[in-house]
Amino acid sequence: MASPYSAPYADSAPGDSTGSPPGPLANAWAAISRRQQRFLDIWTPHTVPRWISTFVVILAYMLRIILAQGWYLITYGLGIYILNLFLAFLTPKVDPVTHQSEEDDEGSALPTSNAEEFRPFIRRLPEFKFWYSMTKAVVICLFLSLFEFTNIPVFWPILVVYFIVLTCLTLKRQIKHMIKHKYLPFSHGKTIYQGKEGGR
């Protein structure tokens, strides 16, 4: 099976001057990308171990910040980024408010009444992309905390209070949106219908 990285050069003849083979840097980058994608493909079905490993990295980052007493601005930015990812994870792919005037993607809209056909909840940000983006951001921040020039002095209690207020207001708006449009982004606690058993 041909590699997707060699597809643009497949039609060019060996002596053709219009298409040149990729250089050593492009080959190295393609090899790294293939290994990274293979690693991610292996981890995709293992949801619980993925999140456990992410929380271990978050714990290591928190210990680094608490013990070093610094890098609060980077931590604040990380918190805002994770909050945005979490909101995208809770939000449906097609917003019921803006979708009412659109008719092209009708199959992914949320039902507005009990008589309508059931449609599964499709997230704006899938779980795997949420995990990958969050883990990557924490690892980058952990790496940045190794350098002193990224430790910008700030009065951290103001950042903590502002982050808490922002989180509460944002989650309150999201919960109101969920109640208004009657959807639940989690499968836990939903009614599960089971068929009749043979013995009953």
What are 63-95's pLDDT values in tens digits? 999 999 989 999 999 999 999 999 998 888 776
Q: Is residue 148 part of a domain?
A: yes
Q: What is the pLDDT of residue 90?
A: 86
Q: Is residue 153 part of a domain?
A: yes
Q: Is residue 3 part of a domain?
A: no
**Spatial separation of the C-alpha atoms in residues 155 and 64, rounded to whole Å:** 18
Q: What is the pLDDT of residue 169?
A: 92
Q: Is residue 7 part of a domain?
A: no
Per-residue confidence at 50, pLDDT binned at 50, 70, 90?
A: very high
Burial (CB < 10 A; 0-12, 13-18, 19+), residue 56, is exposed
Say yes or no to pLDDT of 151 above 70.
yes
Burial (CB < 10 A; 0-12, 13-18, 19+), residue 174, is middle
User: Chain-wide mean pLDDT for the chain?
Assistant: 77
Q: Nearest to residue 75, comparing CAs of 187, 190, 160, 188?
A: 160
**Spatial separation of the C-alpha atoms in residues 49 and 57, rounded to whole Å:** 12
Q: Is residue 18 part of a domain?
A: no
Domains identified in the chain, total number: 1
- For residue 97, the enclosing domain spans 47-181
Q: Is residue 140 part of a domain?
A: yes
pTM: 0.68
Say yes or no to pLDDT of 51 above 80.
yes
Q: Is residue 27 part of a domain?
A: no
Q: What is the pLDDT of residue 104?
A: 46
Q: Is residue 77 part of a domain?
A: yes
What are 152-200's pLDDT values in tens digits? 888 889 999 999 999 999 989 888 888 877 777 766 544 555 555 544 4
